[in-house]
Amino acid sequence: MRLKDLPEEELFLQGSAACQGCPGSMALRVAFKALGRNTLLVVIASCTSVLQSPFPLSALDLPVLNMAFASGGAVASGISAAVNRLVKRGVLEEKPTVLVWAGDGGTYDIGIQALSGAAERETDFIYVCYNNEAYSNTGTQRSGATPYAAWTTNTVTGKKEWRKDIAQIMVAHNIPYVATASLAYPLDFYQKMRKAMSIQGTKYIEMLAPCPPGWKFPSDSTVLVSRMAVQTGLWLLYEYENGKTTYTAGTKRIIEGHAELKPVEEYLKIQGRFRHLFYPERDELRIAEYQGRINDLFDTLRFTYKMREHLMDLEFLPTRRVP
Ligand SMILES: Cc1ncc(C[n+]2csc(CCOP(=O)(O)OP(=O)(O)O)c2C)c(N)n1
Ligand SMILES: [Mg+2]
């Protein structure tokens, strides 16, 4: 499949209020192409609430429910139950896909309880977290997804903590499908959305969403920054299905030895939010900490790949930690 084979119908329309180079709007466009018209969208407070355009206009050509910040999983549970009932009563012929579109603040932090509850109840819906690694809509404050050493308005010398690995927290919920995605690999994202749509139960997909004003890079570089995150190993592309994790696209190529792992500083250097790691002088320690974590992670991933046929016989599987 190629990009030109994607459906031509646009459900994310022109004239949105998104910033130039907004990753969220690019991701919405591809996601809508994958899911099609029979989709009910739940948006919780985030940039997506704003980019839809001021009422009565809307850039989203789908039914949308704009809901409170913490409520994504809970609202999806209600909608999913209502839709099941309508199908049972014959009011709806085909069950619509229920899609929650949430930011990282609304997922890693304030929305995790509602999401966890919905996942544990095996609610049938897709939850997409577009992770721009900050509370962007309110002016770039730190979230649980903000990476180590990154500037935000309340981590002015760089965040002191490492981010949590929420995709693995979702794997631990025993849901049928978890995947990560990048805008630089739109077909990979499209196929993951299609697969999620075909599976019953809770599906969690996370898209890394480089935000030009928040991460401080030019607005024509969103895809470049997305690609660099994967090529330097800071963002992993994989899908988890039936208890098995499969690495995909750029990450798979690195693990299998078909592409090199680029130095992380190539990714850090192109973003103003990491400027203090290079100016006025190089912060060797924090750069080395990053590279060390990535090297450890990829040593584990390559080892697991090499030993994949034997690992089932081993008593343990190596653990991994994302940078
Ligand atoms: C309970 C509550 N607290 C705070 C807000 C204000 N608020 C709206 S959007 C937002 C930031 C959302 O961040 P994130 O979920 O990462 O989405 P992004 O803006 O980055 O797209 C905040 C703090 C709110 N709407 N509700
Ligand atoms: Mg955010």
pLDDT in tens, 17-30: 999 999 999 999 99
**Does the beta carbon of 138 lie inside 6 Å of ligand 1?**
yes
**Does the beta carbon of 104 lie inside 6 Å of ligand 1?**
yes
What type of residue is 165?
A: D
Query: How far is the centre of ligand 1, averaged over its atoms, from the C-alpha of 138 (Å)?
Result: 7
Task: Report how far residue 91's alpha carbon sits from residue 108's, in angstroms, rounded to the nearest whole number.
Answer: 36
Min mean pLDDT across 101-105, 115-119, 214-218, 306-310 is at 306-310
In percent, the amount of the chain with pLDDT more than 90 equals 91
Query: How far is the centre of ligand 1, averaged over its atoms, from the C-alpha of 142 (Å)?
Result: 11
Ligand 1 pocket test, candidate residues 26, 44, 46, most atoms within 8 A of CB:
46
How many Cβ atoms are within 10 Å of 281's Cβ, its own excluded? 8
- Give the residue extent of every domain in the chain: 3-313
Predicted TM-score of the model (pTM) = 0.97
Query: How far is the centre of ligand 2, averaged over its atoms, from the C-alpha of 191 (Å)?
Result: 24
**Does the beta carbon of 103 lie inside 6 Å of ligand 1?**
yes
Q: What are the Cα distances from residue 241, in Å, to 46, 196, 203, 213, 294?
A: 29, 10, 10, 35, 24
Min mean pLDDT across 9-18, 291-300, 302-311 is at 302-311
Residue 240 phi, psi (nearest 5): -120, 125
pLDDT band of residue 170 (cuts 50, 70, 90) is: very high
Whether domain 3-313 has CATH 3.40.50.10860: the reply is no
Which residue's CA is the nearest one to ligand 1's atom 5?
Answer: 69
